[in-house]
Chain A
């Protein structure tokens, strides 16, 4: 059964908020116009995060591919698949995120790499940055962190 939120005739912002948030679309999602079609690889073993991160990227017109384990991620990169952006979680099946990052960099990939993880200490953060990750973000991935990166990749 479709659960479409009811539309609201009320004019005030408060009423629109109360009607379920749909009328306030764009409140958190920062609107940008992309000039180019960017591509992203999302590497996360958790399905909820994997789906959500891809959906967020889709909302900005980014074409995505998602893998739920490190082995598939490395194999994909090794097969010359190219991406503008790679998003990696720290805890992954098979190899951890740090090892995946190291292997991807060893292959010679030079795209923007984001580490998006639930929590981590400063030493781990520094280790990822040293291995080639460009930005370290604590979950959940949000537009505030993502949009500047997309703008940069889009040449804006």
Chain B
């Protein structure tokens, strides 16, 4: 595939992430913070998010299996999760976190467990999509220098 074709493909991938609601405007802000002095900023911050949120997911899972359910602790964890996911523009993940907090506030453990499955799904889907997107960008960068 020629360079223009690759650029086109990358643009389509990127546009679909927004069109399908996986990312919101906040992701554009990350891109705007990336510059020559910080050329990998977007990928670095996304990697940081997934490192931290994976640990958070483990903590939440542990708390969900404990009895009695510590809703206050769950709410604090989810508060953090919502904050970091919104900070990278992870729109669907952020929405699911908000739903979880509602069930948490209502003291509904079963609903929290179901809601958490949705969060993990969206978290994993977005991870795969972003990994593919960054991989394509990397290939395009290499193609440009050759």
Contacts and interface: CB of A to CB of B under 8 A. Distances in A.
Interface centre among B15, B38, B84 (most CB of A within 10 A): B84
B7 A48 contact: no
B33 A59 contact: yes
A102 to B, nearest CB: 19
Interface string B79-93: 110111011110000
B39 A21 contact: no
> Interface size class for chain A?
35 or more
B130 to A, nearest CB: 12
A77 interface: no
A6 B3 contact: yes
A28 interface: yes
Interface string A1-24: 111111110000000011111101
Contacts of A126: none
Interface of A: 1-8, 17-22, 24-29, 45-49, 51-52, 55-56, 59, 89-91, 117-119, 139-143
Interface of B: 3, 6-8, 10-11, 14-15, 25-26, 28-35, 38-41, 43, 45, 48-49, 52-53, 76, 79-80, 82-84, 86-89, 98, 101, 134, 137-138, 140-142, 144
Closest 10 A/B residue pairs (Cβ) = A118-B83, A18-B11, A21-B31, A48-B84, A140-B87, A118-B82, A48-B49, A139-B83, A29-B32, A3-B138
